[in-house]
Amino acid sequence: MKELSSRLALRSILVSYLFILVIMPISAVYLKGFSLGWDPFWKEITGIIAWKAIILTLKLSILTTFIQAFLGTFIAFVLVRYKFWGRRWLNSLIDLPFSLPTAVSGLMLLTLLGPTSPFGKWLESFGISLLYNESAIVIGMIFITLPFVIRTVQPMIEQLDPFEEQASFILGAGKAFTFFKITLPAVFPGIIAGSMLTFSRSLAEFGAISLISGNLPGKTQVASVYIYGEIENYNTQGAAAVSVVLITFSLVVLLLANFLQKWKGRTI
Amino acid sequence: MRRLFISMTILILFLILFLPFLSIVLGAFDQGADAFLVALQRPESLHALKVSFIIVMIVVVINTIIGILLSIEMIRGTWISRWLRPLINVLVDLPFAVSPIIGGLMIILLFGPNTVMGMFFENAGIKIVFALPGMVLATIFVTFPLVIREIVPILEELGMTYEEASASLGAGPLRTFFLVTWPSIRWAIYNGIILTIARSVGEFGAVLVVSGNILNQTQTATTLVYQDSVDFNMIAAYSVALLLGLFSITVLLILDWLKKRKEDQLNAH
């Protein structure tokens, strides 16, 4: 009897912990965003600066996702299929953007792309500036999300059945044909799942981007920086309204990724 | 072809990862090792590092204990009905989907000075927003899934056979946990703890919003780096950033070692 009641107590503690830590905070944002009704919410997010920040974030996140889908798949293949000196070392380095504080990542990119560094000077001599503009934001997003696609595609390539590719070769298919018809379709669910994580992380990123984007309202200000500005200006309702848009987007993407992973598990 | 692909990969990773890291190493030692050490020993640096350390300690302890208990209940708890399980799964992942800035906003909306709960704690003499409790809460929210996501797959794979055998042989739940469950999930927990440490040291957005970034009070190592870079106090920013960067590399090395150990263990069986 005593054991039963202690179990019950533990369960209620865990459930209330989950409630207080996750459910309540998220509902608080939605409630605050809609606290004055639909019209003020709509007015907040369609305000010219907020709207431009949301559109800019979505646009650059989609661009980053596409770049990362190609880049990540390519790097994953090279790291799994080719044995070369330093491979193991490179492979562990991939996770660096995860373990690095985002403020430090931002400072690194700020320094590297800035006019005082040799690299920045070299770029400047070609008239290229990669700081305080949209390309800076994309560079920041790519740095932060580098591991996602690589880390989801890598295990799928490792688990690939080598006989399928061999069969394709034996039947006379070329390397490229085999890759696009046999290998790529097999790892495609991994690419999609990794890309969705990339997209959701790009939408959310603040630390790295706020240092290198220049944060020009309406031009290079992303949504998370806009939210931060509104909090600082005590406009929590406006901050919450834009947050609702961001959370809803990431939530849908996260659910899709979850669903895809389940669906992938069922087919294997 | 092969050679081209390998050199392209190395070049891309060199440009994306290595070059940025190199730039802060060079920046930190730009005016000699002395300037680097002096910048590191400023009172605000030391205080910020101390605040970060306190937050990490509290967060790791809470997240590990709750993480272990919650993962076990998520997998083994027969009291959770079938429709609820996927929902809890999504709930656990939610902090991954939320921008750190929004994570901070949530704490302000719940515990801010004008809210019901904020006033309740204020009357009790506890300040949450712009103080340590709020920063700990924000960090817990952001790092919440890490330990759970490491343990859950291991527990699922393990199945209940060993635990049932232990229970049927007369061991109590505590004995079963420490002698049967713990040894098999131990390494996953270590992995989760390392990830939690790395993430809580590095947490920036949520902490920036909640802490108010008050010098020598609520400033953490990462918000100090941010503040110094915004103020163009570059040597100071680089020195703390380099320390954090070296810490991240250590974390990577430990994770790599843990992974290798796990593989060796699998091969040994």
Instruction: Select from B140, B53, B219 the least CA-distant residue to A103.
Output: B219
Instruction: Select from A11, A179, A31, A135 the least CA-distant residue to B76.
Output: A11
Q: Within this chain, do residues B69 and B175 fall inside the same structural domain, yes or no? A: yes
Q: Within this chain, do residues A86 and A214 fall inside the same structural domain, yes or no? A: yes
Closest-CA distance, A240 to chain B, in angstroms, reads 8
Domain that holds residue B18: 1-30
Q: Within this chain, do residues A150 and A185 fall inside the same structural domain, yes or no? A: yes
Are A154 and A80 spatial neighbours (Cβ–Cβ below 8 Å)? yes
> Are the beta carbons of A17 and B70 separated by less than 8 Å?
yes
Sign of dihedral through CA atoms A96, A98, A103, A106?
A: positive
- The arithmetic mean of pLDDT across residues B165-180, rounded, is 85
> Are the beta carbons of B226 and A11 separated by less than 8 Å?
no
> Are the beta carbons of A250 and B203 separated by less than 8 Å?
no
pLDDT averaged over every residue in chain A: 88
Q: Write the single-letter amino acid at B50.
A: K
Q: Within this chain, do residues A108 and A16 fall inside the same structural domain, yes or no? A: no
* A84 near B CB under 8 A: yes
Residues of B in contact with A107 (CB under 8 A): 24, 225, 229, 237-238, 241
Q: Which of A98, A101, A105 sits opposite B201 (nearest CB)?
A: A101
Percent of chain A with pLDDT strictly greater than 70: 96
Confidence at residue A263, expressed as pLDDT on a 0 to 100 scale: 64
Q: Residue B17 falls within a domain, yes or no?
A: yes
Q: Within this chain, do residues B120 and B54 fall inside the same structural domain, yes or no? A: yes
Cα separation, A23 vs B76, whole angstroms:
22
pLDDT digits (tens, 9 = 90+) for A249-268: 988 887 887 777 666 554 44
Tell whether the model's pLDDT for residue A145 goes beyond 80: yes
Q: Within this chain, do residues B243 and B139 fall inside the same structural domain, yes or no? A: yes
Residues of B in contact with A85 (CB under 8 A): none
Cα separation, B241 vs B10, whole angstroms:
25
Residues of A in contact with B89 (CB under 8 A): 258
Task: Please spell the DSSP secondary structure of chain A, one letter per residue.
Answer: -HHHHHHHHHHHHHHHHHIIIIIHHHHHHHHHHTTT-HHHHHHHHHSHHHHHHHHHHHHHHHHHHHHHHHHHHHHHHHHHH---TTHHHHHHHTTHHHHS-HHHHHHHHHHHHSTTSHHHHHHHHTT---SSSHHHHHHHHHHHHHHHHHHHHHHHHHHS-HHHHHHHHHTT--HHHHIIIIIHHHHHHHHHHHHHHHHHHHHH--HHHHHHS---TTTT--HHHHHHHHHHTT-HHHHHHHHHHHHHHHHHHHHHHHHHHHHHHHH-
State the total domains in chain A.
2
Cα separation, B68 vs B191, whole angstroms:
13
* A243 near B CB under 8 A: yes
Cα separation, A40 vs A42, whole angstroms:
5
Secondary structure, 3-state, chain B: CHHHHHHHHHHHHHHHHHHHHHHHHHHHCCCHHHHHHHHHCCHHHHHHHHHHHHHHHHHHHHHHHHHHHHHHHHHHCCCCCCCHHHHHHHHHHHHHHCCHHHHHHHHHHHHCCCCHHHHHHHHCCCCCCCCHHHHHHHHHHHHHHHHHHHHHHHHHHHCCHHHHHHHHCCCCHHHHHHHHHHHHHHHHHHHHHHHHHHHHHHCCHHHHHHHCCCCCCCCCHHHHHHHHHHCCCHHHHHHHHHHHHHHHHHHHHHHHHHHHHHHHHHHHC
Q: Within this chain, do residues B106 and B178 fall inside the same structural domain, yes or no? A: yes
Q: Within this chain, do residues A204 and A103 fall inside the same structural domain, yes or no? A: yes
Residues of A in contact with B223 (CB under 8 A): 103
Instruction: Select from B215, B224, B257, B239 the least CA-distant residue to B27.
Output: B239
Q: Within this chain, do residues A102 and A175 fall inside the same structural domain, yes or no? A: yes
Chain A residue closest to B196 (CA)?
Answer: A99
Q: Within this chain, do residues B130 and B24 fall inside the same structural domain, yes or no? A: no
> Are the beta carbons of A75 and B21 separated by less than 8 Å?
no
Q: Residue B93 falls within a domain, yes or no?
A: yes
Q: Residue B197 falls within a domain, yes or no?
A: yes
Chain B residue closest to A106 (CA)?
Answer: B226
Residues of A in contact with B90 (CB under 8 A): 254-255, 258
Q: Within this chain, do residues B117 and B162 fall inside the same structural domain, yes or no? A: yes
Closest-CA distance, A218 to chain B, in angstroms, reads 19
State the total domains in chain B.
2
Tokens of A131: 């700081």
Test mutation, B76, B105, B252, chain A, max A CBs within 10 A:
B105
Cα separation, A132 vs A114, whole angstroms:
10
pLDDT digits (tens, 9 = 90+) for A49-81: 999 999 999 999 999 999 999 999 999 999 998
Q: Write the single-letter amino acid at B45.
A: S
Tell whether the model's pLDDT for residue B44 goes beyond 80: yes
CATH assignment at residue A248 = 1.10.3720.10
pTM for the structure as a whole: 0.89
Q: Residue B209 falls within a domain, yes or no?
A: yes
Chain A residue closest to B230 (CA)?
Answer: A211
pLDDT digits (tens, 9 = 90+) for B63-98: 999 999 989 888 877 777 677 777 787 788 888 878
> Are the beta carbons of B110 and A106 separated by less than 8 Å?
no
> Are the beta carbons of A99 and B248 separated by less than 8 Å?
yes
Are B221 and B52 spatial neighbours (Cβ–Cβ below 8 Å)? yes
Cα separation, A146 vs B15, whole angstroms:
12
CA B11 to mean position of chain CA atoms: 30
Confidence at residue B154, expressed as pLDDT on a 0 to 100 scale: 87
Q: Residue B103 falls within a domain, yes or no?
A: yes
Q: Within this chain, do residues A63 and A123 fall inside the same structural domain, yes or no? A: yes
Chain A residue closest to B249 (CA)?
Answer: A96
Test mutation, B10, B109, B110, B242, chain A, max A CBs within 10 A:
B109
Cα separation, A169 vs A95, whole angstroms:
34
Burial per residue of A245-263, b for 16 or more beta-carbon CB atoms within 10 angstroms, e otherwise: bbbebbbebbeebbeebee
Q: Which of A3, A23, A206 sits opposite B205 (nearest CB)?
A: A206
Q: Residue B147 falls within a domain, yes or no?
A: yes
> Are the beta carbons of B198 and A236 separated by less than 8 Å?
no
Q: Residue B116 falls within a domain, yes or no?
A: yes
Q: Residue B160 falls within a domain, yes or no?
A: yes
Q: Within this chain, do residues B162 and B137 fall inside the same structural domain, yes or no? A: yes
Q: Which of B20, B106, B173 sits opposite A109 (nearest CB)?
A: B20
CATH assignment at residue B233 = 1.10.3720.10
Q: Within this chain, do residues A139 and A252 fall inside the same structural domain, yes or no? A: yes
Q: Within this chain, do residues B24 and B138 fall inside the same structural domain, yes or no? A: no
Q: Within this chain, do residues A159 and A189 fall inside the same structural domain, yes or no? A: yes
Residues of B in contact with A90 (CB under 8 A): 9-10, 13
Cα separation, B60 vs B48, whole angstroms:
18
> Are the beta carbons of A107 and B225 separated by less than 8 Å?
yes
Chain A residue closest to B80 (CA)?
Answer: A11
pLDDT digits (tens, 9 = 90+) for B48-63: 999 999 999 999 999 9
> Are the beta carbons of A103 and B225 separated by less than 8 Å?
yes
Tell whether the model's pLDDT for residue A1 goes beyond 60: no
Confidence at residue B79, expressed as pLDDT on a 0 to 100 scale: 74
First to last CA, chain B: 39
Chain A residue closest to B73 (CA)?
Answer: A11
Tokens of A4: 């039963």
Task: Note the ipTM here.
Answer: 0.87
Closest-CA distance, A142 to chain B, in angstroms, reads 8
Sign of dihedral through CA atoms A93, A98, A103, A109?
A: positive
Chain A residue closest to B86 (CA)?
Answer: A258
The residue written with tokens 């990830």 in the block is B195
Sign of dihedral through CA atoms B129, A12, A33, B120?
A: negative
Instruction: Select from A166, A251, A135, A149 the least CA-distant residue to A200.
Output: A251
Chain A residue closest to B253 (CA)?
Answer: A92
* A267 near B CB under 8 A: no
Q: Within this chain, do residues B102 and B198 fall inside the same structural domain, yes or no? A: yes
Q: Within this chain, do residues A188 and A132 fall inside the same structural domain, yes or no? A: yes
* A221 near B CB under 8 A: no
Domain that holds residue A9: 1-33
Tokens of B165: 């055998």
Q: Within this chain, do residues B92 and B197 fall inside the same structural domain, yes or no? A: yes
Q: Within this chain, do residues A202 and A134 fall inside the same structural domain, yes or no? A: yes
Cα separation, B80 vs A186, whole angstroms:
35
Q: Within this chain, do residues A74 and A1 fall inside the same structural domain, yes or no? A: no
Q: Within this chain, do residues A21 and A151 fall inside the same structural domain, yes or no? A: no
pLDDT digits (tens, 9 = 90+) for B228-255: 988 888 888 999 999 999 999 999 899 8
Instruction: Select from B122, B123, B145, B148 the least CA-distant residue to B134.
Output: B122
* A184 near B CB under 8 A: no
Q: Within this chain, do residues B4 and B125 fall inside the same structural domain, yes or no? A: no
Percent of chain B with pLDDT strictly greater than 70: 99
Q: Within this chain, do residues B47 and B155 fall inside the same structural domain, yes or no? A: yes
Q: Write the single-letter amino acid at A204.
A: A
Residue B99's alpha-carbon distances to A17, A22, A98, A162, B205, in angstroms, are 21, 14, 15, 40, 8
- The arithmetic mean of pLDDT across residues B190-196, rounded, is 93
